[in-house]
């Protein structure tokens, strides 16, 4: 399941086409240096349409250091006007299905003055883009809805199978997550806007732990319910507990980190399992 990407975030987190030496880059009115590598003569994307594409990051000597194709996570971006001088997404409006292009982008623009060790401040790098598909916003929304429903159904079956195999009784919420109550709390029950403090240990469904507030030096995590400061599964799940309550949250990826995953510890489309203790409701 792929969502419209926050491309400027992906440039930091996920920062085949070799640029032929000697070919000149043009400069757009917005100061983007670019060149079209392949033009399939298809209709070009319009503002408001959504492009499915892959990006390939290269040094100026054409050596590839990262690509979304290798990670099997194509991006989706809605075509829009440039957001800043040299915005590489400006090139999307010059492309159609099957097209490819290359942009020269300042390292400092992308990495905000803190480039990785193999790049230097003041240098340029190449961003090559290949367009797989151009969709209307309506087509994109319909496709995402179908994929979301399918992914949710698959993950719900996996959770139900896990609960059965481990002798656990879970309650399915309206949002599609599952709750296992281990200790009934006796204190206040949080609502949207409540500030809560929670002890937790987060694992994947295979038991691999990725985070815990119980680690040495850590304290219960504090946040406000319903403000979007945590994954949706927490905003939806924590209010089912009363202060002092303990249990487990089984969170489908659609209510967690989705197809993006989170860093190296949470792969794309991961079901999350949280051991929860609601310590305090302020």
Mean per-residue pLDDT of the chain: 89
Query: Over 80: is that where the pLDDT of 281 sits?
Result: yes
Q: For residue range 18-33, list pLDDT tens digits in order.
A: 434 446 899 999 999 9
For the chain, give every domain's residue range: 7-138, 150-281
Strands 75-78 and 26-27: unpaired
Assign 181 a pLDDT band (cuts: 50, 70, 90): very high
Cα–Cα distance, 102 to 129 (Å, whole number): 6
Cα–Cα distance, 108 to 86 (Å, whole number): 12
Q: For residue range 52-94, list pLDDT tens digits in order.
A: 999 999 999 999 988 988 877 789 999 999 999 999 999 999 9
Give the closest residue to 279 by CA, choosing from 203, 227, 214, 235.
214
The 3-state secondary structure of the chain, one letter per residue: CCCECCHHHHHHHCCCCCCCCCCCCEECCCCCEEEEEECCCCCCCCCCCEEEEEEEEEECCCCEEEECCCCCCCEEEECCCCCCCCCHHHHHHHCCCCCEEEEEEEHHHHHCCCCCCCCCCCCEEEEEEEEEEEECHHHHHHHHHHHHHHHHHHHHHHHHHHHHHCCCCCEECCCCCEEEEEECCCCCCCCCCCEEEEEEEEEECCCCEEEECCCCCCCCEEEECCCCCCCHHHHHHHHHCCCCCEEEEEECHHHCCHHHCECCCECCCCCEEEEEEEEEEC
**Residue 9 pLDDT:** 43
Predicted TM-score (pTM) of the model is 0.61
Q: For residue range 209-223, list pLDDT tens digits in order.
A: 999 999 999 999 999
End-to-end alpha carbon distance in the chain: 37
- Kindly list the catalytic residues: 200, 210-211, 231, 257, 274
Say if CB 180 and CB 237 are below 8 A apart: no
- Asked if CATH classification 3.20.20.120 holds for the domain at 150-281, the reply, yes or no, is no
Domains 7-138 and 150-281 share a fold: yes
Question: 7-138 belongs to which CATH class?
Answer: alpha beta
Say if CB 100 and CB 40 are below 8 A apart: no
Cα–Cα distance, 237 to 63 (Å, whole number): 46
**Residue 3 pLDDT:** 56
Give the closest residue to 113 by CA, choosing from 102, 105, 121.
121
Cα–Cα distance, 27 to 34 (Å, whole number): 6
Assign 5 a pLDDT band (cuts: 50, 70, 90): low
Assign 4 a pLDDT band (cuts: 50, 70, 90): low
């Amino acid at each position: 399941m792929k969502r419209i990407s926050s491309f400027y975030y992906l440039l930091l987190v996920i920062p085949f086409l070799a640029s032929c030496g000697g070919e000149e880059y043009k400069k757009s009115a917005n100061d983007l240096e670019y060149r079209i590598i392949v033009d399939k003569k298809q209709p070009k994307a319009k503002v408001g349409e959504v492009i499915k594409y892959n990006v390939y990051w290269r040094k100026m000597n054409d050596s590839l250091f990262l690509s979304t194709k290798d990670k099997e996570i194509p991006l989706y971006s809605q075509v829009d006007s440039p957001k800043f001088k040299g915005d590489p997404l400006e090139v999307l409006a010059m492309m159609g299905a099957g097209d490819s292009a290359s942009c020269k982008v300042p390292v400092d623009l992308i990495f905000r003055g803190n480039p990785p060790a193999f790049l230097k401040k003041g240098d340029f790098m190449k961003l090559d883009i290949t367009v797989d598909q151009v969709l209307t916003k309506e087509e994109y929304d319909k496709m995402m809805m179908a994929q979301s429903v399918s992914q949710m159904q698959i993950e719900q079956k996996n959770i139900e199978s896990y609960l059965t195999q481990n002798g656990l009784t879970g309650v399915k919420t309206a949002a599609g997550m599952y709750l296992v109550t281990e200790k009934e709390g006796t204190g206040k029950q949080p609502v949207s806007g409540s500030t809560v403090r929670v002890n937790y240990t987060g694992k994947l469904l295979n038991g691999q732990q990725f985070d815990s507030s119980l680690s040495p030096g850590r304290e219960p995590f504090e946040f406000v319910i319903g403000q979007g400061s945590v994954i949706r599964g927490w905003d939806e799940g924590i209010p089912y507990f009363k202060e002092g309550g303990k249990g487990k949250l089984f969170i489908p990826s659609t209510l967690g980190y989705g197809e993006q995953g989170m860093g190296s510890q949470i792969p794309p489309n991961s079901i999350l399992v949280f051991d929860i203790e609601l310590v305090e409701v302020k």
